Structure 1
Amino acid sequence: MKHLILGTALLALTAGMGAAQTVRLGTEGAYPPYNFIDDNGQVAGFERVLGDELCKRAELTCEWVTNDWDSIIPNLVSGNYDAIIAGMSITDERKQVVDFSENYTPPSPSAYMAKSADADIENGVIAAQTGTIQAAHIASTGATLLEFPSPDETVAAVQSDEADAVLADKDYLIPVVEESGGALVFVGDDLPLGGGIGMAFRKSDPELRGKFDAAIKSMKADGSLNNLIIEYLGEDSPHF
């Protein structure tokens, strides 16, 4: 009888372990240095390293899923993955649909980039990625908004003279400007937009959000999050 009880308990434990949840992390895979696809076809960048460490601290098994930016929130809500970690700024508009974790970067500036420092950013044609805080800002100004599904298309629009300038996260644009050999420059003042970057969760998943919140807090407390920000986003990027 004792062996039967032990065997039943072991079977129940094994079944429970087999049913353990795998947390799927959704990202874009096209927004370096935050996230991109490396030469091996794997998600890489700041958020890949950060996400893996957060999963380790939260004692979760995680796998990565890529999704186009323009449908990244709808596909979270519909259950295609369990959280978004994709350079997503925390905004009041998005909070109506999803819940955010603690921010894992402080608010960082957006910037205009063009071929010339004389580019008309007030009334010209400005490119931005669809569904971003930058696109929303341009729509509120006197400039003409030209939207694209991916960030590299916004840069290409400037290079081909389809747009006078692009507005994007400065962290994204810095390497683009540096690698252009002087062909591209920053224009005007930096813009403080959004409330920092955080992970997004379905409103029905507060327990999962709490686990990642605790992991983010622990990385802030021990300084490892600042180290990652400096390593991947640069010493001048805002950190905690």
Structure 2
Amino acid sequence: MKHLILSAAALAMTAGMALAQDTVRLGTEGAYPPYNFLNDAGEVDGFERAVGDELCKRAELTCEWVTNEWDSIIPNLVSGNYDAIIAGMSITDERREAIDFTQNYTQPDPSAYLATSADVDLEGGVIAAQTNTIQAGFINEMSMTLVEFATPEETVAAVKNGEADAVLADKAFLAPIANDDPDLVLLEKEELIGEGIGLGLRKSDTELKEKLNAAITSMKEDGSLNALITKWLPEGETF
């Protein structure tokens, strides 16, 4: 699902281990449904809330949820503001330069284009994407014209107000928007980017990585992870 291009300052690593603390803090964006969002009570909800809570239970960890804007989500992990990222973050080689990842808890999710017309010219048009995402990187590599926005909601608004011809984002995020808005259409063309979504960790937190990997494996083996994918990401590929 998401993505990130980092500043050099984010490469500094903190020395402390997450499991040396009483509570493991899970950092998420809280603004990317159905992966993560804030419900009416202001609490983190969605697919990743369900996955994260179950992982903590199986790993016998006491966890709390922290929200952070997407653009600084990796630097704030590295600086110690929380201990793991669970925010629809796709595993990429570029991110591995700054942080470590657990194994994936989703398969690669197709990225889709949302536009106001099915015959939009993608190659000659302006394509919106959230800043520091794998979609933004893909658009740059394909030599399309990219316009970036801080939040996913702003990318959709850019299409509706004419600032962009289409937005490229995770299909699971865009499909419900297209279904609810008669002025928007999900294009048939899709892109497969990244290696699936994993939890991002500081490279020093090897013990936490081992515990979370074991919990993810357990959820894959007993089918509980597939059940959550089917519930929250009905078009997503199961394991």
Q: TM-score by structure 1 length?
A: 0.90
Question: How many angstroms apart in 1 are the aligned matches of 2:125 and 2:200?
Answer: 33
Residue 102 of structure 2 aligns to a residue whose secondary structure is: strand
Residue 197 of structure 1 aligns to a residue whose secondary structure is: coil
Residues 139-154 of structure 1 aligned to structure 2 (within 5 Å): 139-154=140-155
On the 8 A contact 1:104/1:198 being kept in 2, the answer is yes
1:230 aligns with 2:230: yes
Summarize deviations over 1:97-124 as a string: whole Å, max 9, x none.
1100010001111011100011111121
Summarize deviations over 1:48-100 as a string: whole Å, max 9, x none.
01100000000000000000000000000000000000000000000111100
On the 8 A contact 1:105/1:239 being kept in 2, the answer is yes
Residue 40 of structure 1 aligns to a residue whose secondary structure is: coil
**Is the strand fraction higher in 1 or 2?**
1
After TM superposition, what 4+ stretches of structure 1 lie above 3 angstroms from structure 2?
none
Matched with 1:172 is: 173
Matched with 1:40 is: 41
On the 8 A contact 1:114/1:184 being kept in 2, the answer is yes
Residue 105 of structure 1 aligns to a residue whose secondary structure is: coil
Bigger Rg, which one: 1
On the 8 A contact 1:58/1:212 being kept in 2, the answer is yes
Summarize deviations over 1:131-171 as a string: whole Å, max 9, x none.
10000001112321100011010000001111000000001
Q: Structure 2, unaligned stretches of length 5 or more?
A: 1-19
Q: C-alpha displacement at 1:189, in angstroms?
A: 1.6
Q: Structure 1, unaligned stretches of length 5 or more?
A: 1-18
Residue 71 of structure 2 aligns to a residue whose secondary structure is: helix
Q: C-alpha displacement at 1:20, in angstroms?
A: 5.5
Letter in structure 2 aligned against 1:111: A
Letter in structure 1 aligned against 2:40: D
Residues 154-169 of structure 1 aligned to structure 2 (within 5 Å): 154-169=155-170
On the 8 A contact 1:123/1:142 being kept in 2, the answer is no
Letter in structure 1 aligned against 2:214: A
Residue 226 of structure 1 aligns to a residue whose secondary structure is: helix
Letter in structure 2 aligned against 1:116: S
Letter in structure 2 aligned against 1:52: D
Residue 21 of structure 1 aligns to a residue whose secondary structure is: coil
Q: State, as a whole percentage, how many aligned pairs show the same letter.
A: 65
Matched with 1:220 is: 220
Question: How many angstroms apart in 1 are the aligned matches of 2:101 and 2:142?
Answer: 28
Matched with 1:89 is: 90
Question: How many angstroms apart in 2 are the aligned matches of 1:120 and 1:136?
Answer: 19
Larger RCO: Structure 1 or Structure 2 (Cα < 8 Å, ≥ 6 residues apart)?
2
Question: How many angstroms apart in 1 are the aligned matches of 2:170 and 2:108?
Answer: 10
User: How many residues were matched structurally?
Assistant: 220
Residue 50 of structure 1 aligns to a residue whose secondary structure is: helix
